[in-house]
Structure 1
Amino acid sequence: MEYTAKYITPDIKLSCYDDKFFKSDILFEEHMLVWFISGETKIVQADATYFLKQGDIFLIPRNQLATIINYPKNGQPHKTVVMHLSADRLREFYAPLSVRPQLPQAQPIRTYNNHPLLESCLASLIPYFDMKALPDNIASLKITEAISILRAIDPEVDDILANFEEPGKIDLMTYMEKNFMFNMPVEKFGYLTGRSLTTFKRDFKKAFQTTPQRWLTKKRLELAHYHLAEKKMKPIDVCYEVGFENLSHFSFAFKKYYGYSPTELGLKRS
């Protein structure tokens, strides 16, 4: 994979993948505003799947789990402008405002496709990525501009951007049954369910009578078998959507668990 990134500040980057494919399971620890210059992305979450392409603009709320699959398209690389909206920056923005956000448990990705104000704001960043020196306040002004535009075009966005609550303790079984396909460290699952690592492992053992890793592997392989046998998906697609990092590891674990490989299952099905 050929990856390059240019930064105006740590919060604003121009991201480019030149290779055929990139996949990652991600916990978004900050809100991310993204503008597509070229390429395509598939974002798989527990409740929804998004397909995003050239010209699309979207906001990913923080503390979300997702599988991200990036593709070049039409001979052009996967290229995006990404703006991180950090909690510190947002607290500074909202400090003089009287905003009381609703506190929903989860927020979907919000799309603002081809919106002229947002596109103009993000496109105006492009010349800055090639500058060797940039006035300190430029990036701050651009982030403030982006937040202001979001608030002007999306009346509900304050419920996301002005919400600074950390995840509280939630039902462990419900959360894990919904999110097991994301390949996250156990510490991250603990954080998202409002637990320390020690408490998470203790509560997990009590709820599932096994270790997190054994349970996660079993659940992912069972979901993979369903996708292969019932939905007729290809092994390479199943591998990435159920939480494995590469096809060889997935094939090995699948055959060890079921006694036959994903490919052999496909041949039986045929």
Structure 2
Amino acid sequence: MDHISRYLTPEIKLSCYEDKFFKSDIMFDDHMLIWFISGETKIIQYDASFLFKKGDIFLIPRNQLATIINYPSNGEPHKTVVMHLSVERLKKFYQNIELVKKPIPENKIYSFNNHPLLESCLASLVPYFDLKSHFSEDLASLKITEALSILRAIDKNVDNVLANFDEPGKIDLIGFMERNFMFNMPLEKLGYLTGRSLSTFNRDFKKHFNTTPQKWLTHKRLELAYYQLAEKKKKPIDVYLEVGFENLSHFSYAFKKLYGISPKQLI
């Protein structure tokens, strides 16, 4: 994978993927504001999928599980400007802003397609990546404050997301796992998102599902793959990444072991 990241600060970077595609299951610790210079990204959540391309701008809230697949497009690499909006930075920004208490934010990605103010703000960062001189913290702070101020001006509900500093509380394990089994996350992360330590997560999982997380996850992913192949008539090459497998050969082996036939035999 030919991936280049150039940082102005730990919070602002220019990201470039040259390869055919790059896939990752992610859960960001920071909110991520992303502007597309070129290329495409497919983002898959448990209940929705999105396709973003050149000119698009979107916000991925922190602690959201998603599969991200990055593609070059029209002969151009996958290239984005990314702004990390950390909890620490946001607490400073909101400390003198009076907020109305709002309900818990939805688990969704916020799209600001081709918005001229946001695009101007993020595009203004690009020339700095070619400078040899140091990009000061004061300038970084000004740029992040500008982006946050624009976000608040164009979406009145964004405070509901950005000013929510709560850590995940203990939630229903069965419902969470049924929604999110296709995301290839470490068990520690899954435990964190359900409000549990790793040991409590494993204990509760065994009690509810009567098996280990690894066995249950593999079986659920193969069930989803079978449905996508048999009912949706998708190809194995288009299915294995989206159901949580890392490579096609492992997927094909596990599928045949469970169902007695190869994925291709269902097409």
Q: TM-score, normalised by structure 2?
A: 0.97
Task: Give the ranges of 4+ consecutive aligned residues of structure 1 lying more than 6 Å apart after TM superposition.
Answer: none
Provide the residue aligned with 1:200 in structure 2. 201
Which amino acid is the alignment partner of residue 170 of structure 2?
K
In 2, the alpha carbon distance for the partners of 1:101 and 1:70 equals 36
CA contact (8 A) 2:168 2:195 kept: yes
In 2, the alpha carbon distance for the partners of 1:50 and 1:213 equals 28
CA contact (8 A) 1:101 1:160 kept: no
Pairs within 5 Å for 1:178-197: 178-197=179-198
Provide the residue aligned with 1:234 in structure 2. 235
In 2, the alpha carbon distance for the partners of 1:60 and 1:221 equals 28
In 1, the alpha carbon distance for the partners of 2:16 and 2:74 equals 15
For each residue in 1:140-194, what CA deviation from the matched residue of structure 2 results, as whole angstroms up to 9, or x when unmatched?
A: 1101110011001110000000000010000000010010000111111100000
For each residue in 1:14-61, what CA deviation from the matched residue of structure 2 results, as whole angstroms up to 9, or x when unmatched?
A: 000111111111012210000000011100001110010100000111
In 1, the alpha carbon distance for the partners of 2:231 and 2:137 equals 55
In 2, the alpha carbon distance for the partners of 1:8 and 1:67 equals 26
In 2, the alpha carbon distance for the partners of 1:175 and 1:136 equals 39
CA contact (8 A) 1:15 1:80 kept: yes
CA contact (8 A) 2:9 2:135 kept: no
In 2, the alpha carbon distance for the partners of 1:199 and 1:219 equals 22
Provide the residue aligned with 2:28 in structure 1. 28
In 1, the alpha carbon distance for the partners of 2:253 and 2:200 equals 32
In 2, the alpha carbon distance for the partners of 1:68 and 1:107 equals 16
In 2, the alpha carbon distance for the partners of 1:234 and 1:131 equals 46
In 2, the alpha carbon distance for the partners of 1:135 and 1:258 equals 58
Confirm whether residue 221 of structure 1 aligns to residue 222 of structure 2: yes
Provide the residue aligned with 1:4 in structure 2. 4
**Distance change (3 Å), C-alpha of 1:105 and 1:211:** farther
CA contact (8 A) 1:235 1:262 kept: yes
Provide the residue aligned with 1:173 in structure 2. 174
Gaps of 5+ in 1: none
Cα drift, residue 256 of structure 1:
1.2
CA contact (8 A) 2:105 2:160 kept: no
For each residue in 1:192-221, what CA deviation from the matched residue of structure 2 results, as whole angstroms up to 9, or x when unmatched?
A: 000000110011001000000000000000
Cα drift, residue 248 of structure 1:
1.1
SS in 1 for 2:5: strand
Identity of aligned residues (%): 70
In 2, the alpha carbon distance for the partners of 1:246 and 1:138 equals 43
In 2, the alpha carbon distance for the partners of 1:225 and 1:237 equals 12
Provide the residue aligned with 2:66 in structure 1. 66
Provide the residue aligned with 2:102 in structure 1. 102
SS in 1 for 2:147: helix
SS in 2 for 1:183: coil
Q: TM-score, normalised by structure 1?
A: 0.96
CA contact (8 A) 1:228 1:235 kept: yes
CA contact (8 A) 1:35 1:119 kept: yes
SS in 1 for 2:240: helix
In 1, the alpha carbon distance for the partners of 2:170 and 2:82 equals 31
SS in 1 for 2:75: coil
In 1, the alpha carbon distance for the partners of 2:94 and 2:138 equals 18
Cα drift, residue 264 of structure 1:
2.3
RMSD: 1.0
Cα drift, residue 255 of structure 1:
1.1
Which amino acid is the alignment partner of residue 179 of structure 2?
K
Confirm whether residue 140 of structure 1 aligns to residue 141 of structure 2: yes
Confirm whether residue 77 of structure 1 aligns to residue 82 of structure 2: no
Residue-pair matches, total:
266
